[in-house]
Amino acid sequence: MSAALQLQDSRERFYDRLMPESIITPNHDWLACMLASWCDGAGVLPDYLGLEPQHFKVLTNHYFPSVNFPEQAPSGSKLDYSRMLEKDDLVNLLKLYSKETPETDWMIAIIVAGSLGSDHLWQDLGLWSRPQLSAMLHYNFPELAAKNNKDMKWKKFLYKQLCEAEGIYVCRAPSCEVCIDYPKCFGAED
């Protein structure tokens, strides 16, 4: 059996143990996917999923009260700390498009931590597919997600939003459609 299939199988078994009969909110399901991956060493999320320790405890007790999670990332963190300069800007961008709730604040912290990884955002978060990430962003940040009307890769889209907010336009082409890097921004994320 390939390593990818073993990871998927192990992750899915852990996910099945996490999910009760009823789902509290759609975030409940996505968090279960991310935690199953995180506990299996997939993704790049750091200790406490990038949350403050007390917030991690509240989140896990709220959604998964009968499960004891490790506090430290089982695989060790694989974050690109050179992107830390934009961390506050990314938090502020996501807050601008969200409702002020503890659940949304948790999701913002986790998304920002995942944004420091070097793969596609859905992979760095430990989600199982790009459509899961799209649904999660549309649920938590509907107005921001709607701006991605050409289906740009999410991490590129978020950082492009930061650049545009600062009036920085680094693209060489007058529009994405004529850019030679189009496949890097809009191609498949397998």
Reported as a single tens digit per residue, the pLDDT across 52-105 is 999 999 999 999 988 888 878 776 666 666 667 788 999 999 999 998 888 999
| In the predicted structure, residue 166 carries a pLDDT above the cut 90 | no
Using pLDDT thresholds of 50, 70 and 90, give the confidence band for residue 35. Answer: very high
User: Rounded to whole angstroms, how far apart are CA atoms 3 and 146?
Assistant: 36
Share of the chain above pLDDT 70, in %: 76
Rg (CA), the chain: 17
pLDDT on residue 187: 62
For the chain, domain boundaries: 3-150
How confident is the model at residue 1, as a pLDDT? 37
DSSP letter assigned to residue 79: -
The number of residues making up the chain comes to 190
Q: What is the pLDDT of residue 103?
A: 92
Residue 179 has pLDDT above 70, yes or no: no
What pLDDT shows up at residue 151? 86
Span 95-117, average pLDDT:
93
Helical axes 26-39 vs 102-114, angle rounded to 10°: 40
Read off the pLDDT of each residue in 25-53 and give the average, rounded to a whole number: 92
Rounded to the nearest 5 degrees, what angle is found at the Cα of 45, between the Cα atoms of 122 and 71? 140
The per-residue pLDDT for range 1-30, each reduced to its tens digit, is 334 434 455 888 888 888 876 678 899 999
Q: Quote the pLDDT of residue 168.
A: 56
Mean pLDDT computed over every residue of the chain = 82
Confidence at 174, pLDDT banded by 50, 70, 90 = very low
Q: Is residue 45's pLDDT more than 70?
A: yes
